[in-house]
């Protein structure tokens, strides 16, 4: 038997509960590479995070079905692996993408309790790949075709219709537009000087035909588009991944929860001096200490005094769910958009443990490796707009949370202190809350107590216990 009988198709696993697709950011292996079990083979971005997917078989890469930039549905094959490239072992019947059953305990395979093992969450579904939408700023062009898969010799009990002729994948042009066309059509376009990226294909799957080339050649030249000195007058950016999920969540939150925002300006001079003393402590010399740390501690103390602020609205049950734990979310700006990972059970952490957790959270977010599980289940969020030099803001609630705090920049300002005008370290806090849960009195008391803590955190810790 041929060694190709050992080729196995690896489908995109479920990368998180509720996620149905992912974009292939980067292939970490190429056709012909020999890979090991659990070796990272591809980086995929979902609506929550970018993750590396490990190989569930060792072997040789035979086919990569989708190029970088393709949006693929969960359950769709993305790579074919020959698990016995040397042909030394007895080959088994060739599995198909629909009938192959992965080994127990591996991604996509059976797991205890009858569930399917996946990276995070459950239930991969089998659907076809989904290409990114066509751009409307230029004539529509079809996406890149997947490279033709390597032939797999297997008995076919039922005759199938002949497959269409393969369509070659074009290298990505400078403008980022991809097209589908057969090799003879591409040659004709080159000979006639026709840019395939400017043609709307009329063939199967939107591919470009010879007639499309001839029609484009005979069509009148379009009116020139005036460009700025730096380039085109417009740029279109596909909304996908983290940015797409953030946009959907913000719209849902803004038009579901009635927002109220209150502001409080606070003298943090004593808090800043306390942080400076903390930095000189020998046990804290290697710890990242910032004003956000003392604000986070103040939030946890204030939530303990006003637990209703740490709650959510259950629309289906028509109940307010008060949380006896705090999953403290810290908004982080990354290259892929805004994410809000949270520190689980932050109420149980000491100040040093809180500092370490915040440092780890920021480092992971900047590296783009925040797991989806770390971005769900938050109960209260802090967004530090002060790092951008902004005084404060009116933040929108993350879905499922009753309140969010914006921390503004801390700067020297004239301030009335002990009957005199002095320069003090001052900031402005902005608290947005869900008015279905938190009325003006509760929101004001929470903000007042937080301001009292930040004015003199050492005294507040002694007084509040």
Catalytic center residues: 435
DSSP assignments along 235-294, one per residue:
------HHHHHHHHHHHHHHTTS-EEEEEEEEE-HHHHHHHHHHHHSGGGTTS---HHHH
How far is it, in rounded angstroms, from Cα 375 to Cα 343? Answer: 9
CA distance 276 to 289: 9
> How far is it, in rounded angstroms, from Cα 145 to Cα 181?
9
Which pairs count as long-range contacts for 50-53, CB under 8 Å and 24+ apart, including other chains?
A: 50/25, 50/241, 50/336, 50/368, 50/369, 51/15, 51/119, 51/369, 51/371, 51/372, 52/28, 53/12, 53/13, 53/15, 53/107, 53/119
Residues in the chain: 465
**Largest Cα span, the chain:** 94
Could you tell me how many helices (H) and strands (E) the chain has, helices first? 8, 21
Question: What CA–CA distance (Å, rounded) separates 134 from 111?
Answer: 39
Q: Residue 170's CB: how many other CB atoms inside 10 A?
A: 20
Closest among 347, 305, 346 to 446, alpha carbons compared: 305
The two three-digit tokens of residue 252, written as one number: 């849902």
**Going by C-beta distance under 8 Å and a sequence separation of 6 or more, which residues neighbour residue 27?**
41, 42, 64, 68
Q: What are phi and psi of 317, to 5 degrees?
A: -90, -10
């Amino acid at each position: 038997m041929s060694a190709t009988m050992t080729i196995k198709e690896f489908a995109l696993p479920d990368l998180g509960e509720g996620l149905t697709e992912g974009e292939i950011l980067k292939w970490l292996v190429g056709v012909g590479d020999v890979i090991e079990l659990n070796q990272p083979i591809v980086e995929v971005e979902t609506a929550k995070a970018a993750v590396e997917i490990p190989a569930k078989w060792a072997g040789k890469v035979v086919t990569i079905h989708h190029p970088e930039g393709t949006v693929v549905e969960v359950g769709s094959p993305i790579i074919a692996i020959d698990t016995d490239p040397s042909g030394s072992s007895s080959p088994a019947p060739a599995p198909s993408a629909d009938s192959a059953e992965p080994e127990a305990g591996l991604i996509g395979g059976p797991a205890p309790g009858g569930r399917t093992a996946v990276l995070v969450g459950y239930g991969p579904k089998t659907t076809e790949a989904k290409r990114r939408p066509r751009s409307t700023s230029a004539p529509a062009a079809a996406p890149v075709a997947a490279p033709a898969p390597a032939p797999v010799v297997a008995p076919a009990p039922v005759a199938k219709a002949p497959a269409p002729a393969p369509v070659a994948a074009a290298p990505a042009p400078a403008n980022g537009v991809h097209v589908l066309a057969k090799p003879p059509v591409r040659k004709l376009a080159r000979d006639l000087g026709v840019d395939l990226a400017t043609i709307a294909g009329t063939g199967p799957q939107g591919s470009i035909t010879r007639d499309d080339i001839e029609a484009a050649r005979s069509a009148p030249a379009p009116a020139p588009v005036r460009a700025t000195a730096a380039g085109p007058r417009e740029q279109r950016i596909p909304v996908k991944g983290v940015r797409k999920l953030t946009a959907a969540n913000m719209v849902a939150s803004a038009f579901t929860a009635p927002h109220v925002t209150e502001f409080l300006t606070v003298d943090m001079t004593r808090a800043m001096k306390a942080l400076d003393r903390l930095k000189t402590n020998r046990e804290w010399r290697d710890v990242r200490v910032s004003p956000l740390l003392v604000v986070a501690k103040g939030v946890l103390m204030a939530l303990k005094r006003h637990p209703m602020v740490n709650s959510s609205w259950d629309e289906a049950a028509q109940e307010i769910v008060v949380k006896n734990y705090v999953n403290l979310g810290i908004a982080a700006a990354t290259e892929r958009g805004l994410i809000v990972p949270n520190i689980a059970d932050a109420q149980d952490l000491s100040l040093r443990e809180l500092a370490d957790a915040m440092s780890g959270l920021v480092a992971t977010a900047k590296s783009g490796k925040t797991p989806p599980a770390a971005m769900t289940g938050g109960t209260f969020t802090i967004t530090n707009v002060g790092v951008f030099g902004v005084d404060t803001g009116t933040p929108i609630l993350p879905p499922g949370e009753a309140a969010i705090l914006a921390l503004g920049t801390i700067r020297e300002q004239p301030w009335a202190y002990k009957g005199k005008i002095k320069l003090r370290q001052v900031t402005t806090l902005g608290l947005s809350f869900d008015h279905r849960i938190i009325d003006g009195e509760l929101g004001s008391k929470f903000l007042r107590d937080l301001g009292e803590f930040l004015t003199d955190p050492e005294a507040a810790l002694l007084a509040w216990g």
